[in-house]
Amino acid sequence: MRRAHAEASAATAALDHLGAAIITLNRDGRVRSATPSADALMASRDGISSKGGRLAALYRQDQPALDRLLSDILDPARCIEAEAREVRLRRDGGRAALRISAGAIHKRLPNFGVDDGAAAVLIVRSVAPAAPRLDALVALWGLTPAEARLAVHLLKPLSLADAAAALGIGHETARSHLKALFAKTGTRRQTELVLRLTSGMT
């Protein structure tokens, strides 16, 4: 239990450092927990808020996209397809939009200290994170340079197809690198991969 709590704290600290906040959802779609930075965003209605435990976009026009993402990620039949998606929520003052990516929680995620009652995790970024150094990823996770380059793009986050295009590599090559990333980090999905990689970047 202590180890799980320590891993969760490390992952949260790393994500906060990268300008990210984490929100977990119950199976009914209501907010279960939030990091301090996520609580602050919601309390100040900075692009997103919580009304009756449900997430609400600041601008009404952004709500359908947020609702679709949450519906997809909470539906077991569609969560694989939804994993690579993200939505952008506009903010006041012309500031950069919030980027929200989401993933379903599977039984392996208690490795990150997320309890079994949670059904989904949302990663909310309000600023573009600084790109991690390739040599740090190679040293921490035993990645090849090609795998580390893909990991950097997936941390932005980009879909696998967009990351492959940005790197100028084929989709099958990118899939091969992604499988190696999953194997080396003990993960199965991109959301898990982001949490695992960032937990070692404090």
pLDDT above 90 (res 50): yes
Map out the domains of the chain as residue ranges: 2-125, 134-199
- In this prediction, residue 94 carries a pLDDT of 66
- pLDDT exceeds 60 at position 177: yes
Long-range CB contacts (< 8 A, 24+ apart) of 186-189?
Answer: 186/108, 186/111, 187/108, 188/106, 188/108, 189/83, 189/103, 189/104, 189/106
Per-residue pLDDT at 41: 84
The structural architecture, per CATH, of the domain 2-125 is 2-Layer Sandwich (3.30)
Q: What's the alpha-carbon Rg for the chain, to the nearest Å?
A: 16
Higher pLDDT pick, 79 / 156: 156
List pLDDT tens digits, range 110-147.
444 445 567 778 888 864 445 567 788 888 889 999 99
- pLDDT at residue 10 in the model: 47
Average pLDDT over residues 33-60: 90
- Show the tokens assigned to 157: 């986050």
Q: Which two structure tokens, joined as six digits, stand for 48?
A: 């997103």
> Which residues are paired to 48 by β-bridges?
57
Whole-angstrom distance, CA of residue 89 vs CA of residue 91? 7
| pLDDT value at 24 more than 80 | yes
pLDDT at res. 139: 85
User: Which of 75-89, 143-157, 186-200 is most confident?
Assistant: 143-157
Q: Give the span between the Cα atoms of 68 and 182, in whole angstroms.
A: 27
- What does the pLDDT look like over 74-107, one tens digit per residue? 876 665 544 457 888 988 866 778 888 887 775 4
Average pLDDT over residues 2-19: 47
Task: Considering only residues 127 and 25, tell me which one the structure prediction assigns the higher pLDDT.
Answer: 25
54-57/86-89 β-pairing:
unpaired
* Whether the domain at 2-125 and the domain at 134-199 fall into the same CATH topology: no
pLDDT of residue 111: 45
Architecture of domain 134-199: Orthogonal Bundle (1.10)
54 contact partners, CB below 8 Å, separation of at least 6: 29, 30, 31
What is the predicted pLDDT for the residue at 191? Answer: 76
